Amino acid sequence: MITSNVLPKIKEIVSQVNNKRKALEDYYNKLESAKTELEDARHAREKSFTFETDTKVAELEGFVSRIGSRYNREKQTFENELPSKLRRIEELYGELVYEKWGADQEVRDLTERTIESFKNTVTLLDQYTSKPKEINRKALAEVMDADFKTAFSGQMTFIGADSYSLATAIPLESTTYQKLYSAGRQLGVRFE
């Protein structure tokens, strides 16, 4: 098995997102814990108002406010970054599939067999589409003998049959034939 160059990049992004999500979850839990502690301190201040209980409430209110703001900013940044990270993973996934395609032995074998089969098909197609001309020449030689030439001397040229309408077993347009021949030439097929 071939080691992927792309898969570790995908795993790294996933790990970063999960780590950030876990850190935000921990941050949220600490914020909730601080809010609970603040409520407890407020109740303690109501029961027994002293400088210490009031100072503790003021400190906790400031702390909760700061970490609440910080948590909200971090959460918003995280949520804003998620779509771009997902798009990056999609790009990398495309690269991974391309990488696996190139490394797959069965794909290489199939590609080689497909190219050879295509070359054979184009060669057969060339022979098939050339055959009407050959048959037309043979038939013309049988018809245009000395007797024919004597009978029609001085007349117009004999045109013969439309040989292009003979090789129609494969229903392709002429542009498709040309594209097939062009692709065959690019793959090294020599046409006679």
Residues 8-39 have pLDDT tens digits of 999 999 999 999 999 999 999 999 999 999 99
Q: Give the Cα separation of 102 and 108 in Å (integer).
A: 7
Percent of the chain with pLDDT over 90: 52
Mean pLDDT of the chain: 89
| % of the chain residues with pLDDT over 70 | 95
- d(C-alpha 1, C-alpha 148), whole Å: 74
The CA distance from 163 to 134, in Å, is 9
What gap in Å lies between CA 191 and CA 122, rounded to an integer? 9
Rounded distance between C-alpha atoms, residue 31 and residue 65, angstroms: 9
* Residue 135 near residue 166 (C-beta atoms within 8 A): yes
6 vs 147, higher pLDDT:
6
Nearest to 126 by CA among 181, 183, 175: 181
Alpha-carbon distances, residue 146 vs 96, 149, 158 (angstroms): 72, 5, 14
What pLDDT is stored for residue 15 in this prediction?
Answer: 97
Q: Count CA atoms within 13 Å of residue 140 on its CB side.
A: 13
Supply 161's token pair: 């049959």
Q: Where are the alpha helices (DSSP H) in 104-173?
A: 105-143, 146-151
Residue 154 vs residue 120, higher pLDDT: 120
How do residues 146-183 score in pLDDT, each as one tens digit? 888 888 887 767 666 676 677 777 777 888 888 888 99
